[in-house]
Amino acid sequence: MPALSSTMTEGKIVEWLKQPGQRVERGDSVLVVESDKADMDVEAFHGGFLAAVLMPAGGTAPVGETIGLIVDSEAEIATAAAQAPAAPAAQAPVATATASSAPASPAPASPVAASPAPSAQVVAAPVVAAPVVVPPAVAPAPAAASSNGGRVVASPRAKKLASQLGVVLEGLRGSGPHGRIQAEDVLAAGGQPISVPRVAEGSGPAVAAVASASNGAAAAAVAPAASAAPLGQAFGRPGETVAFNTLQQAVNRSMVASLTAPCFRVGYTITTDKLDAFYKKVKGKGVTMTALLAKAVGVVLARHPQVNATTTDAGMLYPAAVNVAVAVAMEDGGLITPVLANTDSTDIYSLARNWADLVARARSKQLKPEEYSTGTFTLSNLGMFGVDRFDAILPPGTGAILAVAASRPTVVAAKDGSISVKNQMQVNLTCDHRTIYGAHAAAFLKDLAQLIETAPESLAF
Amino acid sequence: MGSQLDAILFESERLVPFERGWQAQRQLQQRLLLQPEGPDAVLLLQHEPCYTLGRGADPSFLRFDHANPPLPLHRIDRGGEVTHHCPGQLVLYPVLNLQRHGADLHLYLRQLEQVGIDLLAEYGLAAERLAGLTGVWLEGHKLAAIGVGARRWISQHGLALNVDCDLAGFSQVVPCGLADRPVGRLLDWRPQLSAAAVAPRLLAVFADRFGLALRAPEPQEQLQGW
């Protein structure tokens, strides 16, 4: 069952356009899948014969489930069909390609079934047949790692963790692009609470920001869990000098360029109880804290164009759109700032999906230049690490960047002298003083705090 | 930013029989299947009265004998249950390569809803989504029905917004299979509006939401039978 959407968990088979025994050419529509009010024709990746239909029309199957079998030759139909009813469970993991995660090139030579096949290559070439040349990974459905011709595909950190924790990678389901096993998958399999993802800033579901808000001990609890893993990141071994990679060099240039901008910083403390409550309501719908924070910043920026502006030789440039970029650290060094275009006018669900897609493609280095270079304002969030305050360096071409720290329970005294415990986070705005003055920064932060403290539900649309 | 995608606009002044509108969409879909990098297209029209059923639609939502329908009845390749088209209803059929628009069918449905919400906002109306009930809703009434189909991420079908149509035809069916949710039209909230007046705003909002620069077809881009 292919995924027609990053939010699709199951699909209904409306109609089989081919019958068992019928010849199927590559690119033929084999069946029609419906999810919500959208239909999609599903096409075959491989020519052959439809040997068996495992899920008849009218039936519903979870994304990734094998729903039919295509074999290479007429002779194999009977064998495959005979096996089919008993085999679907065993073969299910084979059906990994999804509409959104299928490789653009022809699938690696029939990801062959794990089940005993009478003759080589017989069984599966699953009918998942994603419509061709699909962009990768919109939060791809978990896929079996070992499907890739039996080779285990895992990130270096995942492999290292696996050996440390004694987790067997074979058979583990990977959540990364094309089923790649990520460090988090290994931690999950090892029974470890999932610690902060290495690709950190804003990339994860930002749970920790809220977890630490609802439970002050959470940030501390993460540390011992993570201690089984290598503690700090390094790109070289003691005694070595390691050349900067391309991305690190690009970051270096930006950071040095920032020294020509006269910056100042303004901080604010924001109470997040209402934001945390709203986040709890919408996170089941795929909304992340990063998306919420970006949306809040975008909405307030639209009301404070001076903070969205930047300094150029010609004067103060006011961009036509509000595009909030969010800094994401890369596993192999450097960082990138994927851009949520039109942040102020895009609904939160679309923002969250766009963000998941951007991060997935950032990880696999498939972002287009306009997807990371068109930010008009940058957000840097270290809240998920429990950081209580920091400041950020201004990226060139923009006027301001906001550093967001963790929300933590704090004893708060009100004006009337009453004392209560509220979740509070510190934010710190770095501004280029040629364009943005202290009063602009203060007004922006005051509005941002008011939005987050009083009307976070308005961020939904 | 500011890079808008090229898109061809086909607009009809006359009422269009359903078959012809569908035929036009299939021609445009076929072009994009053969040349996925080609321009997106959109049709804006009003249909002659008819009923259509989605591919998986349940005929029990018809309140007439489907062998003897009071109006032409078409079973078509979109998702969703039965709906009704009639004059005074603006029908928007985007034929887009959705790979340029997120490659996500649910996202696409939400974006179409947003077009309806943005449009109604221009008239001071706060339309909304209802979870699980795709469409554009205003005070409990469904003003726009949405249903789409796709092949290799090339879309067809789309959105039908009731502006100043006669709603009587909806009483012959259970629209979208929802017995307890009434259908509405814009006229009942903004009596001065007509489909002709709303059409250019709908196109503007749609083009904005999908980042399209709409233009008239070149001679070689004309559709047969359009």
Query: pLDDT tens across B209-218, in order?
Result: 999 999 999 9
How many angstroms away from the CA of B195 is the closest CA of chain A?
25
Per CB-CB distance under 8 Å, the chain B contacts of A133 are 36, 99
A294 in the Ramachandran plot: left (φ > 0), alpha (ψ -120 to 50) or beta? alpha
- Give the C-alpha separation, B72 to A285, whole Å: 40
What are the mean pLDDT values of chain A's consecutive 10-residue runs (461 residues total)? 84 88 86 86 84 86 84 82 53 35 36 33 33 34 40 69 64 67 68 36 34 37 42 82 85 90 96 94 88 96 96 93 92 88 92 90 82 93 90 94 95 91 96 96 97 92 71
φ and ψ at residue A103, rounded to 5 degrees:
-65, 150
- Give the C-alpha separation, A52 to A79, whole Å: 10
CATH of A142-192, one of 3.30.1380.20, 3.40.50.300, 4.10.320.10, 1.10.1380.10: 4.10.320.10
Q: Does residue A433 have an active-site annotation?
A: yes
pLDDT value at residue A194: 35
- Pick the residue of A14, A31, A36, A43 with the most B CBs within 10 A to test the interface with B by mutation: A36
**B152 at interface of A, judged by CB pairs closer than 8 A:** yes
Residue in A closest to B97 by C-alpha: A134
- Give the C-alpha separation, B3 to B23, whole Å: 31
- Give the C-alpha separation, A230 to A247, whole Å: 23
Fold of A10-135: OB fold (Dihydrolipoamide Acetyltransferase, E2P) (2.40.50)
pLDDT value at residue A375: 94
pLDDT value at residue A39: 87
Per CB-CB distance under 8 Å, the chain B contacts of A12 are 56
Question: Cβ of B102 and A39 within 8 Å?
Answer: no
pLDDT value at residue A173: 67
The residue behind tokens 């996170």 is A283
**A226 at interface of B, judged by CB pairs closer than 8 A:** no
pLDDT value at residue A178: 64
**A331 at interface of B, judged by CB pairs closer than 8 A:** no
**A461 at interface of B, judged by CB pairs closer than 8 A:** yes
CATH of B5-221, one of 3.40.50.2300, 3.30.360.10, 3.40.190.10, 3.30.930.10: 3.30.930.10
pLDDT in tens, B160-189: 999 999 999 998 888 878 878 899 999 999
Mean of pLDDT over chain B = 92
Token pair in block for residue B151 = 């092949």
pLDDT value at residue A168: 66
Nearest CB partner across the interface for A41, out of B104, B147, B151: B151
pLDDT value at residue A165: 61
- Give the C-alpha separation, A100 to A79, whole Å: 31
Band (pLDDT 50/70/90 cuts) for residue B225 is: confident
Superfamily of domain A246-460: Chloramphenicol acetyltransferase-like domain (3.30.559.10)
Q: Residue ranges of the domains in chain A? A: 10-135, 142-192, 246-460
CB A380 within 8 A of CB A406: no
CB contact burial A24-37 (16+ within 10 A = b; e otherwise): beeebbbbbbbbbb
CA dist A364 → A182, A243, A331, A371 (Å): 12, 21, 11, 14
pLDDT value at residue A57: 86
Nearest CB partner across the interface for A12, out of B56, B103, B134: B56
pLDDT value at residue A82: 73
Question: Cβ of A38 and B54 within 8 Å?
Answer: no
pLDDT value at residue A148: 43
The residue behind tokens 């929300």 is A407
Residue B194 predicted with pLDDT over 80: yes
Per CB-CB distance under 8 Å, the chain B contacts of A29 are 151
- Give the C-alpha separation, A402 to A337, whole Å: 13
Per CB-CB distance under 8 Å, the chain A contacts of B111 are 350
- Give the C-alpha separation, A56 to A439, whole Å: 65
Range of lowest pLDDT (A61-65, A177-181, B22-26, B40-44): A177-181
Per CB-CB distance under 8 Å, the chain A contacts of B150 are 4, 38-41, 131
pLDDT value at residue B8: 97
Residue in B closest to A355 by C-alpha: B102
pTM here? 0.50
